[in-house]
Structure 1
């Protein structure tokens, strides 16, 4: 009897996103990750957009949604921070969108939430001449991962030091870090996070000077092979327009759109 693959679930993408950023917050004392029945948010005094985010919000029937979003936004502005707000195409509330606009939020970008079943077929690691991919196991390798990932962002030294603290060894084994080396030079990074049937792929980055050589695809295919070996049934990720081309070729499908609003 052929086993049917695990059905794609857009909520699994959102859930893994939230648990991953919760994990990041535990590594960095400058970040506070908060959950209530109506809102999941990240706050920080570090002026970095991904540290000051409303990841999930559910209005109640008794809520003045415009007033509540105003109060939430002001809590960020009082600390001198902008607020980034996520919405999800599979669970969209038009009243929330209108309330965001009423509070001065503007649409600043979007990503595709994508998934891939790992239950059928075997994945092969894509070969790139001279490329080696290793998992991270000690602090020296973590430093190399951090330096490679952050190299593209052009952040100030102070901000860079705050950002890279989110990457740390996970004693529970839910996080796995990868570094790609081309002729012994670190040129790319990838991280996976999750447990059970679903695992997410994050921090896929290739240094600009080494792009268009298949390094990103090789990193992702290596992670997929490792997931499949570990019994993971579904891989998920979030991708911008440039990354989507790579992931479509690997078999990923778009399950939802995540829109960003900023104020």
Structure 2
């Protein structure tokens, strides 16, 4: 994978580690790492630090089987690679896929002024954010994660007038901004609010003299980011264990 694919993945892993750290939920060895937090669907996953092979998959299955918290397995590779098929042959079922994308930040974006963005600091703000999030993503995040990590991870609730309509969070690593969890509630979609949110985040990153932006897009949202100037770096597939796996 290219340099920006690796830096994108580093940003994502840093986000997972920082989210789980206050809960003593980060575990690692030579072959893989995983995070898990009670009473939350996120981040709760494993990922490889070395090459995919049968030995690694065996260890992953052992950890998943023994974990008191449900874990998924995230695997990233070049978009044209077929190595992921070994995972599917080994008793895993793909539940989702995302496209890793990056962009060099060299000029500001036109930004409409319909939305406001409230940064999360207080418990009531965290509750608003975590109540909205499942409407876009169909899984839950424990509000304690936001409360305990808001000094390291930036969480915004997106407002139209005084009505909360979406969420986004950002993770800064070195000279880059990682953009995650951008979701607009279903009844407010197709009105350009995701693009306006992206313009706000990217312009703020430029003001802070950051030079790259990273994200992982769904197939549905990929074209929004391509049109803004992002390029595709890798594919990330997220797996759960099949019930029939040995």
Aligned position for 2:144: 165
Secondary structure in 2 aligned to 1:146?
Answer: helix
Measure, in 2, the Cα distance between the counterparts of 1:148 and 1:46. 17
Of structures 1 and 2, the larger Rg is shown by 1
Q: Is the 8 A contact 2:46 2:60 kept in 1?
A: no
Distance in 1 (CA, whole Å) between partners of 2:132 and 2:103 is: 27
Alignment map for 1:1-263 (pairs within 5 Å): 9-27=4-22, 29=23, 32-44=25-37, 46=39, 48=41, 50-59=42-51, 65-79=53-67, 82-90=70-78, 97-98=85-86, 100-118=87-105, 120-128=106-114, 131-152=115-136, 160=140, 163-168=142-147, 170=149, 173-263=151-241
State whether residues 190 and 220 of structure 1, in contact with CA within 8 Å, keep that contact through their aligned partners in structure 2: no
Change in Cα spacing, 1:79 to 1:85, as seen in structure 2 (3 Å) is: closer
Distance 1:66 1:250 in 2: 39
Q: Mind listing any 5+ residue stretches in structure 2 that lack a counterpart?
A: 242-246
How far apart are the structure 2 equivalents of 1:141 and 1:52? 23
Aligned equivalents of 1:47, 1:206: Cα separation in 2? 21
User: In the alignment, which residue of structure 2 is the partner of 1:3?
Assistant: none
User: Aligned pair in 2 of structure 1 residues 262, 251: CA closer, same or farther (>3 Å)?
Assistant: same
How far apart, CA to CA, are the structure 1 residues paired with 2:25 and 2:191?
38
RMSD of aligned alpha carbons: 2.9
Contact 1:52 1:76 in 2 (8 A): no
Normalising by structure 1, we get a TM-score of 0.78
3-state SS of 1:242 partner: coil
Size of the alignment, in residue pairs? 240
Unpaired runs of 5+ residues, structure 1, are: 1-6
